[in-house]
Amino acid sequence: MNPNSFIGQALPYAELAASKTGLYISLILAQWIDETGWGGPDWYVRCNPGNISENGLTIVYPSFEAGVKAYINLINNQYPNLRTGATPQAQAIRLGASNWASSHYDITGGGVGSDLINIINTYNLERFDSMSTTPNYNDRQFVALAPTPTGKGYWILDSYGEVYSFGDAEYFGGLTPEGQQVGTPQA
């Protein structure tokens, strides 16, 4: 799955997880990117964006909603100290130092959490973090999706009138200034 497609599919779930855990959306997306290899071949089968495992076996959930709920519960019950990081990078270091899969988040040898920080920075994932701090937006719902004529992009409308564009969908604006173009238009 390409980065725009993955982010487009994962973003609503990452936003929900951020609102329920206190983690930055950018950190959640980076972890899910790292854990699933940009969705990988099992993204739709496992419905497990955090790659949660039990006794060494990755759990398969019946839906993404169930997988995200399990992720939220795991963060809140076993990793509550992650949310104390003041920045996405600080949370990445805390996650890298945790027992989640610490060696997995430093494959390049840059230090604990460095792989997550690299993903956050490389893909400018912090642009999504303002979504988790917008007052009274905890009940945001994604209400409409429209594909582009080429099929290489789409627009998402949320319940606050914000529009997000993905792939080759041009950003024309929404009812509020919060919406944004996600990724780079493709030819």
3-state DSSP of 101-125: CHHHHHCCCCCCCHHHHHHHHHCCH
Tell me, yes or no, whether 71 and 152 share the same domain.
no
Within a domain: 29:
yes
pLDDT at residue 59 in the model = 93
> In this structure, which amino acid lies at residue 152?
K
Final residue of a structural domain among 131, 148, 166: 131
Distance CA 75, CA 69 (A): 10
The pLDDT, as a whole number, for residue 156 is 74
| Domain co-membership, 153 together with 115 | no
The domain boundary residue, chosen from 131, 146, 174: 131
Q: pLDDT digit of tens for each residue in the chain (187 aa)?
A: 788 888 888 999 999 999 999 999 999 999 999 989 998 888 888 999 998 988 888 899 999 899 999 999 999 999 888 877 788 988 888 888 888 765 567 666 656 788 888 899 999 899 898 754 433 444 556 777 778 888 777 777 776 667 777 777 777 765 544 444 444 333 3
Q: Which domain holds residue 51?
A: 3-131
Q: Specify whether 15 is located in the same domain as 100.
A: yes
Mark whether 66 and 111 lie in a shared domain: yes
The answer to whether residues 110 and 177 belong to one domain is no
In a domain, 187, yes or no: no
Q: Are residues 19 and 62 in the same domain?
A: yes
3-state secondary structure labels for all residues of the chain: CCHHHHHHHHHHHHHHHHHHHCCCHHHHHHHHHHHHCCCCCCHHHHCCCCCCEECCEECCCCCHHHHHHHHHHHHHHHCHHHHHCCCHHHHHHHHHHCCCCHHHHHCCCCCCCHHHHHHHHHCCHHHHCHHHHCCCCCCCCEEEEEECCCCCEEEEEECCCCEEEEECCCCCCCCCCCCEEECCCCC
pLDDT for position 176? 47
Number of domains in the chain: 2
Contact criterion met (CB below 8 Å) for 106 and 113: yes
- The CATH number of whichever domain residue 65 belongs to comes to 1.10.530.10
Residue 150: HSE in the Cβ half-sphere, 13 Å Cα cutoff: 12
How far apart CA 100 and CA 72 sit, in angstroms, is: 14
> 120 and 36 in one domain?
yes
Residues 72 and 104 both lie in one domain = yes
Same domain, 99 and 30: yes
Q: Is residue 52 in a domain?
A: yes
Residues 76 and 168 in one domain: no
CB contact at 8 A, 103 and 151? no
Q: Looking at the structure, do residues 120 and 162 belong to the same domain, yes or no? A: no
pTM of the model: 0.69
Last residue of a domain, one of 116, 131, 146: 131
Distance, in Å, from the CA atom of 171 to the CA atom of 69, rounded to the nearest integer, reads: 31
